[in-house]
């Protein structure tokens, strides 16, 4: 049974507005209907994807338990790179068993390479702050948090926000650029354990194709998260 245009519009609106706990009961009401790829993607996103663009590996059989349309083959539409709802927004990682897709994972936001120009008001504001690594005010530069500089939103000056950037002194910025260059060449993200941290990344792993979660993406945030449970011993 196919959804009418009105039914599809209603369902999409409900998915967007519903709490996570209400999504599965909602979609199960439509088990007899042919749910489109974009709706399946929205459901997956709502249920499993974090604000930072990551999810765990989600078993296809668990998804099929929510709606049979999640049953997928290698030519699946709802988790296809670049063209599906999810594929246009996230790096997708698919697990395979017996030649079939057995799991799907979102591995950070998908980026589209474009040249980046920093808006002057943002540059001026960021460079007035101290370096987030060395806490000095001299030779501070406005650094793109995303070392790949391939975020299409950051590439558009009209869409840029201060939080897309961070103050780094020239020395720290040169160090970051060196590590980012190595990351681009090897495909392996920087391991923060080399600096003595207890974790390598906040999100993803060394193969994740996104800067989010890497130490160099946001050192201040990295320190805040990693040291959150720290308790000084008297």
User: What is the CB neighbour count within 10 angstroms for residue 175?
Assistant: 14
In angstroms, the CA 192 to CA 205 distance is: 11
**Residue 114 pLDDT greater than 70, yes or no:** no
As a whole number, the mean pLDDT across the chain is 90
More confident residue, 99 or 75: 99
For the record, the structure tokens of 192 come out as 């923060």
Of 27-36, 121-130, 143-152, the range with the lowest mean pLDDT is 143-152
Please, is 82 exposed, middle or buried when counting C-beta atoms within 10 Å of its C-beta (0-12, 13-18, 19+)? exposed
Q: Is 135 left (phi over 0), alpha (psi -120 to 50) or beta?
A: left
Q: Which of 190, 182, 226 is nearest to 208 (CA)?
A: 190
**Residue 148 pLDDT greater than 60, yes or no:** yes
Q: Report the pLDDT value the prediction gives residue 15, as an integer from 0 to 100.
A: 95
Q: Report the pLDDT value the prediction gives residue 120, as an integer from 0 to 100.
A: 92
Question: What mean pLDDT comes out for the span 181-189?
Answer: 91
Question: What mean pLDDT comes out for the span 166-186?
Answer: 93
């Amino acid at each position: 049974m196919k959804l009418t245009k009105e039914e599809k519009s209603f369902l999409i609106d409900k998915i967007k507005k519903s709490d996570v706990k209400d999504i599965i009961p909602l979609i199960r009401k439509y088990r007899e209907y042919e749910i489109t790829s974009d709706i399946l993607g929205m459901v997956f996103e709502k249920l499993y994807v974090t604000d930072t663009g990551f999810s765990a590996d989600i078993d296809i059989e668990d998804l099929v338990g929510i709606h049979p349309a999640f049953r997928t083959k290698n030519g699946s539409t709802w988790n296809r790179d670049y063209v599906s709802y999810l594929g246009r927004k996230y790096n997708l990682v698919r697990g395979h068993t017996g030649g079939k897709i057995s799991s799907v994972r979102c591995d950070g936001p998908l980026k589209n390479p474009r040249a980046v120009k920093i808006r002057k008001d943002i540059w001026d504001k960021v460079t007035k702050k101290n370096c987030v690594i060395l806490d000095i005010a001299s030779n501070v530069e406005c650094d793109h948090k995303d070392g790949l500089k391939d975020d299409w939103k950051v590439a558009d000056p009209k869409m840029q926000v201060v939080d897309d950037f961070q103050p780094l002194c020239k020395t720290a910025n040169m160090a970051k650029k060196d590590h980012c260059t190595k990351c681009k060449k090897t495909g392996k993200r920087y391991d923060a354990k080399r600096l003595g941290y207890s974790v390598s990344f906040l999100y993803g792993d060394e193969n994740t194709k996104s800067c989010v979660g890497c130490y160099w993406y946001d050192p201040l945030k990295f320190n805040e998260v990693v040291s959150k449970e720290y308790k000084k011993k008297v």
